[in-house]
Structure 1
Amino acid sequence: MPRFTDETVIITGAAGALGTSMARRFAAEGARVVVGARRREQVADLLAELGPDAAFARLDVTSEQDWDAAVATAEAAFGPVSVLVNNAARAIVGTTLSVTLEEFREVIDTNLVGTFLGIRAVVPSMRRRRGGSIVNINSTAGIGAAAGLAAYGTSKWGVRGLTRIAAKELGRENIRVNGVHPGIIETPLAYDPATGELNVGVADQPLPRLADVDEISNLVLFAASDEAGYATGSEFVADGGYLLGPVPTPTP
């Protein structure tokens, strides 16, 4: 039996490669998916593909009003929210000294404030159905020290803390909150837009490749599902072994 039959799922950042992959995977598992993006045209093909079990929500994750409207859209179309995936993200390359204050705030607002607002917005809906699951898409930058990604890394450490706090606060209401920490995924966020080069190399990690978006989607669906029903405040890492450190070069 599909794991999410008739459940209502909101996915932010659904226009991106990972968001699109997750929307397809949740729909394949029986969910009714609310596709969150800044503009409908960004997800028009996805909405057409998913058909009547998908709805669009115009969602700037930094806006409380947009969040309230997105939850209202979900409830009107499909009923109370079962699952929220906080996936929208912004990455700007820059060190602590080189990143501008404006850039730092932009990243924090999207990645951390957006996640905070999403949790606050969906909890009343989840309470109405007596439970739910929130999955925050984090990063290895939220566990290690991502030099050169000062704003992004800081935002993801904040999301890590927020995930644990919310899990502790909401667990007695049968609302689970977990984090998924991907390594470098084959998406535009992995590359420096100015140079086209990878922000972080993968050649010396144990699995020397980028992650496929569907590999990460599979982990997100597990964390959101009843199969992970005893996990809350947990960190699911899929990073190709990056956090283990580089594989030593063999000695001749």
Structure 2
Amino acid sequence: MSRVALVTGAAGGQGRAIVQRLRADGFAVAACDINHAELIAAGPADDEVLAVGLDVTSPSGWATAVEATVQRFGSLTALVNNAGTLHRAAIADETVEGFEKAWRVNCFGAFLGIQATLEQLRAADGAAIVNTCSTGAIRPFPQHSAYGSSKWALRGLTQTVAAELGPAGIRVNAVFPGPIATPMLDERTQERLAATAMTGRLGRPGEIADAVAFLVSDAASFITGSELVVDGGQCLQIR
């Protein structure tokens, strides 16, 4: 069976790097993002990459994306729930809308993706799910109540689904990026984080893609329920 991955949040940053790395490893890839125009603009001219517009909070959108993937490539063997949103606000200033959006994108979207792809993954050999979590689900960051709590929830979802789907041969793991140089972090924030980083720099999107590629590969065939932290030592620093 050919290897086929569906990657969300694929228009830029980590998601785009993941798509490129999985293609280099021989996967056909459904590159999904809510911004379909950016997907088309960023995507390589490659018949083995399918650009799919997807709002990860939409059940019908997920059904359409999975159907398009299977129609194009014949199967689906890996799911990478990479879509996410970073939202900052002091708890006193947080809004219902802001809090709910963070949860819907960062955790609910992954839940919908797992449900939508489950039939295909059950039928695949070596099926794998990777969720993009965050060091914000390991240690608390002030003024990140919506983002942090949604990523803690995604961490729990990863663990419970790993326990449930292990007997079906579906591995479920998570990567925990630290500060990565992507548009999600504005320039001032990137400079501040780099100045205090143990390694003296931010991570690169390709370094997260490397971690994801490992977790969906046969080299990780005995790994499930794992939490792979890729943070340049951020969690070792107490500040």
Which residue of 2 is the match for residue 28 of structure 1? 24
Aligned residue number for residue 221 of structure 1 = 213
Aligned partner (choices 11, 17, 27) of residue 7 of structure 2: 11
Q: Distance in 1 between matches of 2:198 and 2:93?
A: 31
Q: CA RMSD in A?
A: 1.6
Matches within 5 A, 1:98-177: 98-177=93-172
The Cα of 1:17 is off from its aligned counterpart by 1.1
How far does residue 203 in structure 1 lie from its aligned partner after superposition? 2.6
With 173-182 and 123-132 compared, the bigger mean Cα shift is at: 123-132
CA drift of 1:37 comes to 1.3
C-alpha contact 1:131 1:173 (8 A) present in aligned 2: no
Question: Is the 2:4–2:76 contact (alpha carbons within 8 Å) kept by the matching residues of 1?
Answer: yes
- Give the deviation of 1:129 after TM superposition: 2.0
After TM superposition, list the pairs within 5 Å mapping 1:53-72 onto structure 2. Answer: 53-72=48-67
CA distance in 1 between partners of 2:90 and 2:137 (Å): 16
Q: Which residue of 2 aligns with 1:250?
A: none
- In the TM superposition, residue 246 of structure 1 has moved relative to its aligned partner by 4.6
The answer on whether the counterparts of 2:173 and 2:224 sit within 8 Å (CA) in structure 1 is yes
Identity of aligned residues (%): 36
1:198 aligns with one of 189, 198, 201: 189
Q: Which residue of 2 aligns with 1:38?
A: 34
Cα distance in structure 2, aligned partners of 1:149 and 1:188 = 18
Aligned residue type for 1:208:
G
Q: Mark the CA change 1:31 to 1:46 in structure 2 (over 3 Å): closer, same or farther.
A: farther
Is the contact made by 2:78 and 2:128 (CA closer than 8 Å) also made in structure 1?
Answer: yes
- Aligned residues of 2:77 and 2:125 also touching (Cα < 8 A): no
Deviations 1:13-43 (A, max 9, x none): 1012111111111111111010101233111
Give the secondary structure class of the aligned counterpart of 2:89.
coil
Runs of 5+ in structure 2 lacking a partner? none
CA contact (8 A) 1:34 1:56 kept: yes
**Structure 2 length-normalised TM:** 0.95
Structure exhibiting the larger radius of gyration computed from Cα positions: 1
Tell me, what secondary structure is at the counterpart of 2:106? helix
State the 1:176 CA deviation.
0.5
TM-score (norm 1): 0.90
1:195-214 deviations in whole A, cap 9, x for unaligned? Answer: x5217724333212110111
Name the count of aligned residue pairs.
Answer: 238
Distance 1:170 1:178 in 2: 11
| 1:50, distance to aligned residue in structure 2 (A) | 4.2
8 Å Cα contact 2:12-2:42 kept in structure 1:
no
Query: Corresponding residue for 2:230?
Result: 238
Gaps of 5+ in 1: 248-252
